[in-house]
Amino acid sequence: MTTAKKHYVVTIARRDPAAEAKETAEPFFWKKKKLEEMNPTEWELLCDGCGKCCLNKLDIDGKICFTCVRCRFLDAKSCLCRIYENRFAKVPDCRLVDLRAVREKPRFLPKTCAYWLLDNGYDLPSWHPLVSGDRESVHRAGQSLRGRLIISESEVKHYEDYIVDWQDV
Ligand code: SF4
Ligand code: SF4
């Protein structure tokens, strides 16, 4: 059976994780705490703002296949949700990225997702805003959706035609 899924980003529009971390979080908290030990602020700061979790995915025989079809509410340039506060009301299959989601199998978060990386024993990459100190570094490194050939779900009928083989998803 083939099903489309959408998942939400935990970024907050206009926030700056690097700057905010200096004000509100313990230095290098992601190296000292497990995901389950993090407070809500630390949890949200972990999100690199890549936007890749807001792509539609297809579950094909138990394998998650990413498509280049974005949720209609994802801003393709900023890679942020345009309806963050109301996302669950407006998009029924928009999901909370919590521990359960991070550990779900098969994996539906992209390989570069900070939550998945940390939970699986990897460190944050150099382009992560918390490491670089610059929220734009995720985009400059080509790790976000910015600049990629993506299409809004409102223009798509057959998701199967848009499956991608990107190395980072
Ligand atoms: S509603 Fe927002 S957070 Fe949810 S999938 Fe769409 S763009 Fe992403
Ligand atoms: S894939 Fe992970 S790091 Fe990227 S926007 Fe989604 S939750 Fe944040």
Confidence of residue 24 (pLDDT cuts 50, 70, 90): confident
Task: Tell me what pLDDT residue 20 has.
Answer: 73
Best substitution site from 9, 81, 143, 145 to test ligand 2's pocket, by max atoms within 8 Å of Cβ? 9
* pLDDT at 70 > cutoff 60: yes
- Alpha helix segments (H runs only) across the chain: 17-24, 29-32, 40-45, 87-90, 99-102, 114-119, 129-132, 137-140
Q: What does the pLDDT look like over 48-63, one tens digit per residue?
A: 999 999 999 999 988 9
Give the pLDDT confidence score for residue 13 in this predicted structure: 53
Residue 51 CA, closest ligand 1 atom number:
8
- Tens of pLDDT along 99-108? 999 999 999 9
Ligand 1 centroid vs 28 CA: distance in angstroms? Answer: 28
Nearest CA to ligand 1 atom 3: 8
CA nearest ligand 1 atom 7, residue: 74
Cβ-based burial of 96 (10 A; exposed 0-12, middle 13-18, buried ≥19)? exposed
Report pLDDT for 25. Answer: 82
Q: Which of 54, 52, 74, 56 is nearest to 65 (CA)?
A: 56
Q: How far apart are CA 156 and CA 70, in angstroms?
A: 10
Helix (H, G, I), strand (E, B) or coil at 120: coil
